[in-house]
Amino acid sequence: MSSPTIRRRARPAYPILLLLAPVLAAGCATTRPGVPEGAAPTPPSVWATADQPASQPPTPAATDPSPPAPSSARPSATAPRTGLKHVFPVRADNVDYHPTHGAYPGTDLFADCGEPFVAVTDGTVLEVSRVDRYRKRGPQGPDNGGLSVALLGDDGVRYYGSHLSVVTSGVDVGVRVRAGQQLGKVGRTGNANNVCHVHFGISPACAGKDGWWIRRGVIWPARYLDSWRRGGNREPAAEVTAWQRKHGCPKAP
């Protein structure tokens, strides 16, 4: 089945957001018009599944009241493939993004909450967080993403989407997915400042040395997003490989 055509449509709110995007700090601290700057986001639930939005938490099991930690897996040793199909990561008629992101490479994809976030290419689910641990007064960085999914593409590249409202049921560590398959929905969990969007990052998967400072993105995604949006197939694997040869897997941001 071919992917629906994605087109840009002007909306009054998003150009304002795009002007603010270059000053984003380590997390995605965007501001919705009408919300005072610095105001704390509406705290989402610490639980979320595909069938239960973050605003309706279930009762944790009595035997273990602590929420489960994000699950992850080691990257596969399979040789990367070239020529894979790549698709735009948000399936919606109205998506806006800015080519820069402030202090580090990444892109915020602004779309309505609930729009599908999909797999960019064929691959294996590498990491899933169905728990929003972010707190404004807590550490800034490790939990900024809220609900998130990281995919290790068959091209050897990791693709990361965060601030999701829901992670799709069955999208678990080790599960194989295809390009265009839904992984979750656009949301505003984590350090999203109550603005609906997906933080999208491209990086290498550093087995045994990984950290949120790598996962959030190490190369600028915009030129790849521009290509995929037009139906092109620009591949980021060479740039990611070159970045890792130069920097390795940094142990701190």
Structure tokens at 74: 């080691």
Domains and CATH numbers, the chain: 43-59+67-248 (2.70.70.10)
What phi, psi does 107 have (nearest 5°)? Answer: -145, 140
Percentage of the chain modeled with pLDDT above 70? 69
Q: Give residue 240's pLDDT band: very low, low, confident or very high (50, 70, 90).
A: very high
pTM, two decimals, is 0.72
Residue 6 exposed, middle or buried by CB count within 10 Å (0-12, 13-18, 19+): middle
pLDDT of residue 148: 98
Question: Which whole number is the average pLDDT over 124-141?
Answer: 94
Give yes or no for residue 196 having a pLDDT over 60.
yes
Give yes or no for residue 39 having a pLDDT over 60.
no
- Which residues neighbour 245 within 8 Å (Cβ) at sequence distance 6 or greater? none
Nearest to 181 by CA among 118, 108, 90: 118
pLDDT of residue 208: 76
